[in-house]
Structure 1
Amino acid sequence: MGSFKQDLKETYLGLAETAEEKWSDFTQFMQEAWPLLVLLLAILVGIWLYADPPPPRHVMIATGSPGGSYEDLGKKYAEFFKEKGVTLEIVPTKGAQENIERLADRNDPVQAAFVQAGVVHAKHIKGIQSLGAIGYDPVWFFYRGPEMKSADLEAVDGMLKYFLGKTISTGVEGSGTHAQATKILKESGYVGGVQLRNLPGGDAVKALQLGEIDGAFIVDSYEAPNVQALLNDPMMHLVTFKRAEAYAKLIPYLHLLDVPQGAFSLPRNFPSADMKLLATTTNILIDDRMHPAIQFLFLEAARTINGKGSFFAERGEFPSFKDSITTESPVAVHYEKNNYPLLAAYFPFWIAELISRLIFVLLPFCVLAYPILQALPSYRAKRMQNKLNRLYGELKKFEQELLLNYNPEQRNEYLKKLDLLEYKALNVQVSKRLSSDYYALRTSIDYVRNCLNRGQHPYQFDEGVDPDL
């Protein structure tokens, strides 16, 4: 029994020989199978680039008027995207209607927008989908003066009797506030008797506090500066809709929010009684061409930013599909059922996205490549066998020429031809499975050479001897 040192040396030599043999087989394989490998690589690159392109690193979102609550929300989303390595550019607009128009324009770079439900039925506009609702936007109707009864808001003969001859603001045309106020007034049966003004939110607050107008519709979140300014002003009152349930039935995207007595201000006991507010929702609308990974990123931002508990929303309530009017994105539907992809919980966004894309690309690629790769061994063996067969064919042709036209004076030329044929055989790379065929060819070449080197050649016969005997 050998020593440990000798056994170790033999083991090392064995491993080295095995590695060398495997490397030789690999290089031979690459030399012979490279056309198929190039084809498979081209297919893989095609799937990678066209079937599942990488997500963009720059996205534009339309928010609203500068200084508004949507701009503040957009900044929070931008910070979230920045942490994930994506730049989210905030694009100020005049309001919801412009947001819709920019999304509908296939040449506009804007791919996302904050839009209140009910501004437009986006299902009638091609190319726009919803990632769901991300928060409540109550319909606030503030007014100044003596506190009125809820019945005073009801329309009588098409007029709001409490506000007859007075002025109220319904928001800028094209804004969410204007769309909601107009819809509510229309459902109330209002046709005239009140002077309407179209003021931006901030201007409406100032005008109401200065007494330049008597009432103002503001559709915005509870935390919005304009809403807080009026809620904290003791001179302002808030309309409670007596028939709130009826409005919610007639206008399907509206929701009812319960406000307990004193919830806005306990010291002021504001409101003085339990009340119901009508509310729409803020939705994230997108261009339906948006990359799925970016859609998931928006949904994850909504869960992180808007999913926290707030004055009106429970923790985890958003994002959700509270507005069933707008066409839902398939990605959002998947998110609602399965949440964010599992990989995102353990890897940074770009690594998780890369792994997801690799899985998406490699699965169909493997389905296609597997039978091709399975065929490679037989393909290689067939190519090697064909090379050997061609050399056998050349040897047979050469031997036939010797048999029919043998000239003793050209023996050296015949030997040179055999040497060239043997050189070709030496340069044929074959697998171990075909070693017997390879050496049989070498032996055949050597046999013909030996025949030529004999004193009596089998290719030369006496004229009086019948070769068939």
Structure 2
Amino acid sequence: MDDSPKKSRVPRVGTWWPALVLLLALAAATPYLIGPPCPHRVVMAAGSREGAYYRHAMRYQRILARDGVELVVLETSGAKENLQRLVGAPAATALDGPLADLAMFQGGAASANDKANEKAETLAGVYLEPLWVFARADMTVRYLSDLRGKRIAVGEPLSGTLPLATRLLAANGVTHLDRPTGQAAAATNRVAGQAPLQQVARTGAASQALTRWVAVGGAAAATALENGDVDAAMFVTAVHAPLVQRLMRRTDVRLLSFSRAAAYETRFRELTSVTLPQGAVDLAADLPATPVKLLAPLASVIARNDLHPAIVPLMMKAMIEVHGPGETLSKPGEFPSAHHVSFPMRDMARHYLQYGPSVLYRVLPFWVAAWVDRMKLLILPLFTLLLPALRIAPPVYRWRVRRRIYCWYGAIRKVDEQVRMGTLSDPLRARRHLDAVEKAIVEVNVPMGYMEEFFALRQNLDDVRRRLESHIREATTTRLRAAA
């Protein structure tokens, strides 16, 4: 009999390697199952630096930076360029700078083809952005139709102002190169902004007989109006934009009030009639001196349809912080909004506006919530698959613990059987074997809940030892008697 007790052990590698392989496979498949991680950098197409789009985008940038996301703000010509950069239109390849993940957009700037593009989705409408029509004070301008035969700055080619301004002018019979009588002097309706402003101004009396749409906008259009290079200028911008403040203070420029605003609302669904209260621009200077009726498209934030889902709640939070308190033409809580948008609302954004952020984003830091939000798509199916394994885990655990105890019974049972049957050939060797078993059992570690079975093992070992010692004594006595 071998004095060293033999205890079979379940190899740890053999037990756990399938689980290890499964975990490694899941880790490798994670990017394909739940998509890429949340990006640390996103790009937003805004507008000109002096415009409200750029100013709001910079505020979004500061808010996203709190959660470790860098928002790169691109200076652009306006809403049309923003859309081109967002959807990756062929025209965008000729533009300087990268494509955009997010963009500021103006209602009324999207054509039918633009609206059919499935790459663009709306996150929210954020504020009303009035259309301002400033004209020389020495002209009598009550309606847009009174601008026939004048030089009109209608916005830059890629701005949102240009398509809106030209649509409204055309609806009033004011088309490019029309004579004051309304008879077309040319078959084309192309914008005249390709020529320098100085050239437009030098055309003399002949140019005064023709309506000219001049493709210039922003601060350049305001300067052209001040210098007499154009007779009127149209802008789509916020109430407190610098150029609005600047032109409102001039005595040689007058702001047009849309007395037929209700009619425009009926015909152009993207426009909302708003009233600029007396003194809203400057109370001290009483600007404007009387309430002014304006038409306002909706400014919105749009996104690519493949924008990472974790960026959506971050942008929604930023928009609520920036626009929730209200502005000159909106009440607190009116924006962000899902109404009157140019492109379909993203489902996650609509849900956020209705119910607020999910529990994850309310209680966890952004990056932790974003990770958990991604992993839940993997964890829930995985939990379903592992549920049967979880059910058998307790019996397997009990078996493994009890095996630490019961594996020693084979080592002591053989001695017990030989003692009982009287076939023990070497009692001293059997004694050494039981001593080795006892020494090994002392080192066995089992949970407290299994101590009863552990001590039962030790008790059984002691019983076998007593029978062995009794057998040794009887054998010794027998030999002594035989020798006597």
The normalised TM-score by structure 1 is: 0.70
Q: State yes or no: 1:209 paired with 2:193.
A: no
Q: 1:112 aligns with which of 89, 94, 102?
A: 102
Aligned partner of 1:439: which letter?
Answer: F
Gaps of 5+ in 1: 1-30, 155-160, 459-469
- What does residue range 69-218 of structure 1 map to in structure 2 within 5 Å? 69-82=52-65, 86-105=69-88, 110-120=100-110, 124-144=116-136, 146-151=138-143, 153-154=144-145, 162-164=147-149, 166-188=150-172, 190-192=174-176, 193=178, 194-218=211-235
Q: 1:428 aligns with which of 441, 444, 453?
A: 444
Aligned partner of 2:160: which letter?
Answer: G
Of all paired residues, the percent bearing the same amino acid is 27
8 Å contact kept, 1:63–1:114: yes
Q: State yes or no: 1:438 paired with 2:454.
A: yes
User: How much does 1:292 deviate?
Assistant: 5.3
Matched residue, 1:286: 303
Aligned partner of 2:48: which letter?
Answer: S
Aligned partner of 2:73: which letter?
Answer: I
User: How much does 1:256 deviate?
Assistant: 0.7
The normalised TM-score by structure 2 is: 0.68
Whole-Å separation in 2 of the counterparts to 1:343 and 1:431: 37
8 Å contact kept, 2:419–2:468: no
Whole-Å separation in 2 of the counterparts to 1:221 and 1:285: 18
8 Å contact kept, 2:239–2:281: no
Whole-Å separation in 2 of the counterparts to 1:354 and 1:268: 51
What SS does the aligned partner of 2:129 have? strand
- Higher relative contact order, chain-length normalized (CA < 8 Å, sep 6+): 2
Gaps of 5+ in 2: 1-11, 179-210, 476-484
What SS does the aligned partner of 2:407 have? helix
Alpha-carbon deviations, 1:363-411, whole Å to 9, x = none?
Answer: 9789779997786554432212233333334544676789999572x55
Q: 2:272 aligns with which of 255, 268, 288?
A: 255
- What does residue range 252-331 of structure 1 map to in structure 2 within 5 Å? 252-259=269-276, 275-290=292-307, 294-331=311-348
Alpha-carbon deviations, 1:93-139, whole Å to 9, x = none?
Answer: 23222322333349967432211123227653334332212222111
Aligned partner of 2:345: which letter?
Answer: E
Q: Which stretch of the first structure deviates more once superposed, 226-235 or 301-310?
A: 301-310
Aligned-pair Cα RMSD in Å: 4.6
Change (3 A) 1:457 1:125: farther
- What does residue range 49-68 of structure 1 map to in structure 2 within 5 Å? 57-68=40-51
Whole-Å separation in 2 of the counterparts to 1:403 and 1:266: 113
8 Å contact kept, 1:167–1:213: yes
8 Å contact kept, 1:103–1:111: yes
8 Å contact kept, 2:300–2:341: no
Whole-Å separation in 1 of the counterparts to 2:262 and 2:83: 29
Whole-Å separation in 1 of the counterparts to 2:130 and 2:69: 32
Change (3 A) 1:404 1:198: farther
Change (3 A) 1:217 1:397: farther
Whole-Å separation in 2 of the counterparts to 1:127 and 1:393: 72
Whole-Å separation in 1 of the counterparts to 2:161 and 2:235: 6
Alpha-carbon deviations, 1:32-86, whole Å to 9, x = none?
Answer: xx969x98x969x979998698755544322112333322222333334445554
Whole-Å separation in 1 of the counterparts to 2:117 and 2:421: 87
Alpha-carbon deviations, 1:227-276, whole Å to 9, x = none?
Answer: 22222222223333454323322322211112457766899987687542
User: How much does 1:177 deviate?
Assistant: 0.9
Alpha-carbon deviations, 1:190-210, whole Å to 9, x = none?
Answer: 554122221131211111111
What SS does the aligned partner of 2:350 have? helix
8 Å contact kept, 1:76–1:305: yes
Q: State yes or no: 1:230 paired with 2:215.
A: no
- What does residue range 326-337 of structure 1 map to in structure 2 within 5 Å? 326-337=343-354
8 Å contact kept, 1:253–1:322: no
Whole-Å separation in 2 of the counterparts to 1:443 and 1:263: 96
Change (3 A) 1:356 1:297: closer
Whole-Å separation in 2 of the counterparts to 1:428 and 1:397: 21
8 Å contact kept, 1:384–1:429: no
Change (3 A) 1:169 1:398: farther
Whole-Å separation in 1 of the counterparts to 2:53 and 2:62: 14
Alpha-carbon deviations, 1:167-222, whole Å to 9, x = none?
Answer: 21221112111122133234445554122221131211111111112222211111
Matched residue, 2:183: none
Whole-Å separation in 1 of the counterparts to 2:459 and 2:64: 72
Aligned partner of 1:120: which letter?
Answer: A
Change (3 A) 1:52 1:449: farther
Whole-Å separation in 2 of the counterparts to 1:358 and 1:181: 47
What SS does the aligned partner of 1:384 have? helix
Change (3 A) 1:163 1:403: same
Change (3 A) 1:416 1:267: closer
8 Å contact kept, 2:107–2:341: no
